[in-house]
Amino acid sequence: MAFTVGRKPRLHYEEQGAGEPLLLIGGLGKDASIWYRLAPLLARQFRVITYDQRGTGLSGDDGRLFSIGDLADDAARLLDELGLERAHVYGLSMGGMVAQELALRQPRKVDSLVLGATTAGGWRLTPTGLLLGWQLACLPFLSRRGRLQALRPLLYSQRFQREHPNRIEEDWATESPGPVSGACFQRQLLAAGAHDARGRLRRIGSRTLVLHGAEDQLVPLADAQALAAQIPGAQLIVLPSVGHMYTTEATAESYELVVDFLAGNRYQAAA
């Protein structure tokens, strides 16, 4: 267990493995425990760095509003404190927004970029989008069990819910107690809702892999397709019959795809 010592809020981070550095950035309402399945696997080949974003887990929270850009600056600060000039960066869900912004603001720091189950933003006020926003906004007021029931259909494919309920329970059993306060969750929602990198994606120069579940109910597949189309040379791989939490539904497959990509191999992009 370690903490940054420079500019606040301080960030709690952990490292495992050896090799080229790989920074993992988690998603909305989660701390670093979201990586509990993938981080140990990736640590076989890489020096894996996981951290709690501001206001989550053991990291500090100054109570102020923040943007995705602020979260990207936090990630850059962590790399600086670790003495790392460059790292591979893997962002999941909202963490993918942070990873995009990091690649745009600090291009020299991002070696390769993996964007998982994420979007460039620019939210549209559709009836479905409004309903989703309302559901997410209500989450802090629900019990742990209530959050699981509300999020299950958004995070996991119907097939996986039927066939692997125990693995879904494992995800929630390993989550840190109170990974994020209700107030910080609301600030995360505001930051994610304001994020819009669509007009800037062509400036990303890092090798980029876009990973997405074909059955993702939280972030539409069209958003992943748009990301891959706008980032120069980006590669899109769609995981069939998999929902938003492909790290749980397709742990081994997504791990192998990421390792091969970071090693420089190329797969035929899926449509």
Give the domain extent around 16. Answer: 2-262
52 vs 33: CA distance, rounded Å: 8
| Domain contains 267 | no
CA atoms of 35 and 81, how far apart (whole Å): 22
So what's the pLDDT on residue 75? 97
Taking the model in full, what pTM does it have? 0.92
For the chain, the residue count is 271
pLDDT in the model for residue 119? 96
Terminal-residue alpha carbon distance, the chain? 41
Asked whether residue 38 is domain-assigned, the answer is: yes
Q: From first to last of the 271 residues of the chain, give the pLDDT tens digit.
A: 687 777 789 999 999 999 999 999 999 888 999 999 999 999 999 999 999 999 998 999 988 999 999 999 999 999 999 999 999 999 999 999 999 999 999 999 999 999 999 999 987 645 555 556 656 666 666 666 777 777 888 899 999 999 999 999 999 888 766 677 878 888 998 899 899 999 999 999 999 999 999 999 989 999 999 999 999 999 999 999 999 999 999 999 999 999 999 998 654 444 3
**Per-residue model confidence (pLDDT) at position 178:** 61
d(CA 119, CA 228): 10
Task: Specify the pLDDT at position 27.
Answer: 92
**Is 269 within the bounds of a domain?**
no
In a domain, 226, yes or no: yes
Where residue 121 falls (left for φ over 0; alpha for ψ -120 to 50; beta otherwise) is: left
Q: What is the CATH number of the domain that holds 105?
A: 3.40.50.1820
C-alpha 34/C-alpha 172 separation (Å) is 9
- Answer whether residue 243 is part of any domain: yes
pLDDT on residue 172: 83
Sheet arrangement for strand 2-3: 2-3, 12-16, 47-51, 21-25, 87-92, 110-116, 207-213, 235-239
Q: What is the DSSP letter of 119?
A: -
Q: Which residues contact 214 (CB under 8 A, 6 or more apart)?
A: 221, 238, 239, 240, 241, 242
CA distances from 156 to 162, 199, 217 (A): 10, 30, 8
Counting the structural domains of the chain, the total is 1
pLDDT at 52: 95
Contact 55, 180 (CB under 8 A): yes
Burial track 203-226 (b if 16+ CB lie within 10 A, e otherwise): ebebbbbbbbbebbbbbeeebbeb
Beta bridge partners of 121: 196
270 within domain boundaries: no
8 Å CB contact between 10 and 35: no
Q: Is 271 part of a structural domain of the chain?
A: no
d(Cα 133, Cα 122) in Å, to the nearest integer?
14
pLDDT, position 269: 43
Instruction: Please give the helix or strand (H or E) that residue 92 lies within, else none.
Output: strand 87-92
User: What is the pLDDT at residue 50?
Assistant: 98
